[in-house]
Structure 1
Amino acid sequence: MNDNQRQNGHSGSPDAASWFVQLQRRPDDSGLRCAFEAWLAADPSHAAQWAQVSGTWEHLGDLKDEPEILAAREALRAELAQAQRRPKMRWAAGIAAIAVAGAAALGIGSWRQAQPKTASSTSPPAMAEVIATYRTPVGGQQAVTLEDGSRITLSTASEVRLTEWGARRAFTVVQGEVFFEVAKNPQRPFVVSAAGRSVTALGTAFDVRVDPGQWSVSLIEGKIRVATRGTSIDLTPGRELTQIGDQPWTIENRDVARLATWREGHLMFDNRPLGSIVQEMNRYSTRKVQIADPALAAKPLSGRFKSGDVTGFVETLEAYGMARGVETSSTTIELRPLSGE
């Protein structure tokens, strides 16, 4: 399921208008072109957005002598000239202004309505800050294959930003969980930032997760280096590093086969407290499970469950005589002990 839709400027995600300006200014930049193609392929709606923006620009040529278009083009020239002196200027405002001016003459109100109401003040930041943003909704999953053959897979309610695509390949995990499969290229380090820490890899596969107040990285294969505040450590396959807040990080052995089963649509647990399992299952569903009884929440459980299927999860617990589910609302199921209300 995809949710990689165009974001308004303040989110840092470049939209079609922003891409148009960047490509007009740097037509020979192969890295920029690859990043644009990745954005274009990430969601079917992006092609339609691009067609609207680029098509609008082409039609503006027919109106080149209109006063509104002349004024808008002159403003764009001035803005691009400023960019030569200030590389960190914001890009979308120029193309948004000229395209909206053209929309009034061409009668394409639907394109105009799609623009953010505050485009002039909330345009996307410079390409060096955010090149592309990928995100998924609750229960969603998205896989993106990059120009170099690397692949990133986003789990439920996740967001990752591409921040560099040149001498370095750099991403930032904002929230959620992302699985990285890195194409080896010693000349182009692959760096992932998460919760203020960095993970550097060459050819490897690893999983990064960012939760409120906690983050972790699990290595499936290859080798990675985790660094923060002058301290670094190398991880080997089957090891997971976890850090809660600013506490010292901990490293534990993990079953490699289970580290990323979420990519197959399943979650596996081995002797985990039921409360912890419920918390994990809830990440994948808008329908939530609750446990009010502390003794029930502490009961250990092992099993394999379909991610997002909280109804099936509760039915399994009932079938094994572990608990019973009571619907307390249209979006909530409460687990209760079998003995008593």
Structure 2
Amino acid sequence: MSEVEPAAKIDEDAAEWAVKRETHSADPAFVAELDAWLAADSRRVGALLRAEAALSYLNRGRALAGGQPDVAPRVGRRKLLIGGAIAALAASVGGLALLLPQEQSIGTMMGEVRKVPLSDGSLVAVNTSSEVVVALTPETRKLSLVKGEAWFKVAHDTQRPFVVEAGPVRVRALGTAFSVRRNESGADVLVTEGTVETWAVGEENHRIKLSAGNKAVLGMGRPPQAVAANDQIENELAWRNGEIVLYGQTLADAAAEFNRYNARKVVISDPQLAAETMVGRFNADEPEAFAHAAALATGARVTQTDSTLQLTRNPSR
């Protein structure tokens, strides 16, 4: 029975192949030798890819520092990749690892709100049923709001732009805190601190700047406009504390908001009742409290099942 080659030895050899490949990739004899090495063990393909990725970021790091990666001593670069550097990459520690992009996905289930610090010092609060993908590199900080809503408290770093993508909408932080909520055609942007620049893909000539206390609704075919919203923003962001604040919304809109957080849904079939407005502060996970308060305020009644809270007009009124 043949002896299994240790993973550490494969990583060491892969680092050597990666360095040699930079200058010998056009040599047929070298290519044949490399192909034979790769074919001998299925683990070697992955090891070579990791080594080449490490080498790429090493070159990038040298370039960012003002160095000349192409004239760096080959033996020195090979030593950086062999053994310790490969392990450092896997463990995300060490100088070279700091150059790798740090990508993570932050998701929440229905009713869940998460506050997650990022490695650059920023903070992301992720609302119910939402997902944010974070990619931090030495040059940029790119975040994608895949669905739902999130609030971003951005750490100051003039060398690395902080950009949030939400469908066709782009938001670039200029030293700030802001929220983005995706909808079918674009996103709502609210600014709580500082300033952001925002635009829609394909409409880059219509960029606008939003300062603290302003909001905008953006989407394809919809010219962005800043709207003063000082009195509304903190209410709209009450979800960060697990609350829903109503300040004159219709019962239909309020029910839709509660339904984002709860499996037990508030149902209002009567259009006139749904158009009634309401003011109040509630815990997001207590749709029952909202339904009974709404019934009391409008003279309606609540019919409960395991899955619904049905608001209907009281026949006696």
Structure 1 residues 146 and 164 mapped into 2: Cα distance closer, same or farther (>3 Å)? closer
How many angstroms does 1:332 deviate by? 1.2
Give the Cα separation in 2 of the matches to 1:317 and 1:148: 44
| Contact persistence 2:116–2:123 (CA under 8 A) | yes
Instruction: Choose which of 31, 38, 45 in structure 2 pairs with 1:78.
Output: 45
Superposed counterparts of 1:82-231, under 5 Å: 82=49, 131-228=103-200, 229=202, 230=204, 231=206
C-alpha deviations, 1:41-99, integer Å up to 9, x for none? xxxxxxxxxxxxxxxxxxxxxxxxxxxxxx99921212332566799xxxxxxxxxxxx
In structure 2, the gaps of 5 or more residues are: 1-13, 16-37, 55-99
1:334 and 2:310 are equivalent in the alignment: yes
Count of residue pairs brought into register by the alignment: 233
Structure 1 residues 186 and 270 mapped into 2: Cα distance closer, same or farther (>3 Å)? same
Identity of aligned residues (%): 30
| Contact persistence 2:107–2:126 (CA under 8 A) | yes
Give the Cα separation in 1 of the matches to 2:47 and 2:143: 27
**Other-structure match for 1:34:** none
Which secondary structure does the structure 2 equivalent of 1:149 belong to? coil
| Contact persistence 1:164–1:170 (CA under 8 A) | yes
**Other-structure match for 1:285:** 262
**Other-structure match for 1:267:** 244
Letter of the structure 2 residue corresponding to residue 202 of structure 1: L
How many angstroms does 1:245 deviate by? 5.3
Instruction: Choose which of 286, 294, 299 in structure 2 pairs with 1:317.
Output: 294
1:307 and 2:284 are equivalent in the alignment: yes
Give the Cα separation in 1 of the matches to 2:254 and 2:117: 31
Q: TM-score, normalised by structure 2?
A: 0.67
Give the Cα separation in 2 of the matches to 1:244 and 1:202: 21
Structure 1 residues 271 and 82 mapped into 2: Cα distance closer, same or farther (>3 Å)? closer
Which has the bigger relative contact order, CA under 8 A and spacing at least 6? 1
**Other-structure match for 1:120:** none
How many angstroms does 1:246 deviate by? 3.5
How many angstroms does 1:300 deviate by? 1.5
Structure 1 residues 82 and 148 mapped into 2: Cα distance closer, same or farther (>3 Å)? closer
How many angstroms does 1:197 deviate by? 1.8
| Contact persistence 2:251–2:277 (CA under 8 A) | yes
**Other-structure match for 2:5:** none
Give the Cα separation in 2 of the matches to 1:259 and 1:212: 19
Which secondary structure does the structure 2 equivalent of 1:316 belong to? helix
C-alpha deviations, 1:131-177, integer Å up to 9, x for none? 21110001001111112211001010000001333211110001111
Give the Cα separation in 2 of the matches to 1:277 and 1:133: 29
Give the Cα separation in 2 of the matches to 1:283 and 1:272: 16
Give the Cα separation in 2 of the matches to 1:201 and 1:175: 20
**In terms of Rg, which structure is larger?**
2
How many angstroms does 1:248 deviate by? 3.0
Give the Cα separation in 2 of the matches to 1:326 and 1:334: 5
CA RMSD of aligned residues (A): 2.8
**Other-structure match for 1:236:** 211
